[in-house]
Amino acid sequence: MKVRIGLEIHVQLTCLRSKLFCSTPSNYYDKPPNTCVCPVCLGLPGVLPVPNKKAIEAALMVALALNCEIAPKIVFVRKHYFYPDLPKNYQISQYDGPGMIPYARNGYLTIVVDGVKKIVRIRRINIEEDPGRLTYPTGSMITSPYSMVDYNRSGVALLEIVTEPDMESPKEARAFVEKLMAILEYLGVTDTSIEGAFRVDANVSIEGGERVEIKNIGSMKDVEKALNYEILRQRKVLESGGKVLREVRHWDPHKKVTVPVRGKEFEEDYRYFPDPDLPPIIVTKEWLEEIRRKMPELPDARIERFTKQYGLDEYRANILVLSKWLADLFEECAKMYSDYKKLADWLITDFLRWVKELNIDPKKRSWNPRSIVSLLQAMDRGLISVRMAKELMPKVVAEGIDVEKFIEEQKISKITDEKLLESIALEVFRENPKAVKDALKNPKAINFLVGGVMKKTRGRADPELTVKIVKRLLEAVEKGELSI
């Protein structure tokens, strides 16, 4: 059964100090409920909205980055629906209809999944105001006996980015969201680490069924999980002879299921018409060029540069660049260390692994590139083995230690004394006579004996020298020159 997935991604412009149509501060995070509000964002009678120029410029920058056609004028419309989080019963947004067009259309984004490139088309981008936020005493709309509304978020500048249904798997949908978030991070228009700064509505259908919308998915991982669950649910319904209904469902991140919320509205239900309080905003070519000149290097351009400047393959460059902080760290280290592939590999594998295991938020932490470089240089100079470097990496991540100084102070440098290693190897031989016999028959069994030396030296033995010594001792045993 063929799967079709389209996404509607809502992104707050957290780079702004005030809301979209009023001067109320947009930073409502951790504030008491209903304190970051004013008559405009509460929609009280008689108020007039005034567009935030910086919000419009940020939106235009995003449209340019996503290869969109930009309308010559920005027209705001009223989207009517009745819900507790919308105090005036309409949302100021945009619409693609007669006399009403979104400010950006017909864009695209290139994603890479399992080494294969794919273009995902972007149907439109809307500038709109965020509604308020419903909260639940138990943390779940399913188990809570009632809901509460907090209007602090109401009126915050929001972009709604709508794709065509070009994605055919949850993995592709997640790759799209990750690439989009990377672009927005490079542009500096949003901070995705802030709760609620981006939400995904996923539309999914499989052959023979209606389209189902999954609302308010709050993380990149959950995009893939929610779609996997929903596709499996729809398949089971169709295979059992049932009918998949057009509806809106809610993703419960705790139970890992989607649950029905309501029937899906049709476009005409919203009764769109141009907002009479907001005249069109003219977008000139000069204004667009001024914005374009201010734009930073974007992920695709940086990936291309990494392959040319540092000789990295596209796989390594992709992983580094899609996390801006990691790409920045790589470039800082690259100023001091010229084995770029080795540097990339250690950052992508061991460094990134410990950042996750230590539960460190990389966007709220500054890193010491000198510490990483000192670890790699210590290996290159033979002061430590690869195993020792892996054991020291948590200290590099958490404390930013000077590795060479740490080795000297703790006296943990690699053991290269051949006589000492030979005496330790002989101990291992005498303690494991069966392993010695196995190694004489099967060359692969030598790894057990080498591992025994490494264990006795707590990983400090020089691996290459240890292998050489163990092979030499095995030859001596085989010739009868050494008994164990």
Q: What is the pLDDT of residues 330-355, one digit of tens each?
A: 999 999 999 999 999 999 999 999 99
pLDDT at position 267, please?
A: 67
Least confident among 127-131, 406-410, 437-441: 406-410
Q: Residue 245's pLDDT band (boundaries 50, 70, 90)?
A: confident
Q: Is the pLDDT of residue 11 over 70?
A: yes
| Tokens 């950042």 belong to residue | 355
DSSP-H helix ranges across 92-219: 170-187
CA-based end-to-end distance of the chain: 66
pLDDT at position 81, please?
A: 87
Largest CA distance in the chain: 103
Measuring CA to CA, how many Å separate 125 from each of 64, 78, 260, 331?
Answer: 11, 16, 27, 33
Residue-wise pLDDT for 199-212, tens only, equals 999 999 998 888 99
Q: Is the pLDDT of residue 129 over 90?
A: yes
Residue-wise pLDDT for 167-199, tens only, equals 999 999 999 999 999 999 999 999 988 878 899
Q: Is the pLDDT of residue 19 over 90?
A: yes
Residue-wise pLDDT for 47-59, tens only, equals 999 999 999 999 9
For residue 254, give the amino acid letter.
H
pLDDT at position 265, please?
A: 58
What's the whole-number mean pLDDT along residues 98-122?
Answer: 93
Q: Is the pLDDT of residue 425 over 80?
A: yes
For 68: left if phi > 0, alpha if psi spans -120 to 50, otherwise beta; the answer is beta
What is the Cα–Cα distance from 339 to 337, expressed in whole angstroms? Answer: 6
What is the Cα–Cα distance from 393 to 351, expressed in whole angstroms? Answer: 7
Q: Is the pLDDT of residue 263 over 80?
A: no
DSSP secondary structure code for residue 40 in this structure: T
pLDDT at position 322, please?
A: 93
pLDDT at position 411, please?
A: 66
What's the whole-number mean pLDDT along residues 207-218?
Answer: 89
Cβ(295)–Cβ(65) below 8 Å: yes
pLDDT at position 208, please?
A: 80
What is the Cα–Cα distance from 308 to 398, expressed in whole angstroms? Answer: 32
Retrieve residue 375's tokens.
């670890």
Q: Is the pLDDT of residue 38 over 80?
A: yes
Q: Is the pLDDT of residue 480 over 80?
A: no
What is the Cα–Cα distance from 394 to 354, expressed in whole angstroms? Answer: 6
Least confident among 114-123, 343-352, 452-461: 452-461
Domains of the chain: 3-290 (no CATH), 297-410 (no CATH), 418-478 (1.10.10.410)
DSSP secondary structure code for residue 137 in this structure: T
What's the whole-number mean pLDDT along residues 8-22?
Answer: 96
Cα dihedral: 313, 317, 319, 324 (round 10): 180
pLDDT at position 413, please?
A: 67
pLDDT averaged over every residue in the chain: 91
Our CA angle for 195, 146, 41, nearest 5°, is: 50
Q: Is the pLDDT of residue 125 over 90?
A: yes
pLDDT at position 178, please?
A: 95
What is the Cα–Cα distance from 45 to 123, expressed in whole angstroms? Answer: 35
What is the Cα–Cα distance from 322 to 245, expressed in whole angstroms? Answer: 37
Q: Is the pLDDT of residue 378 over 70?
A: yes
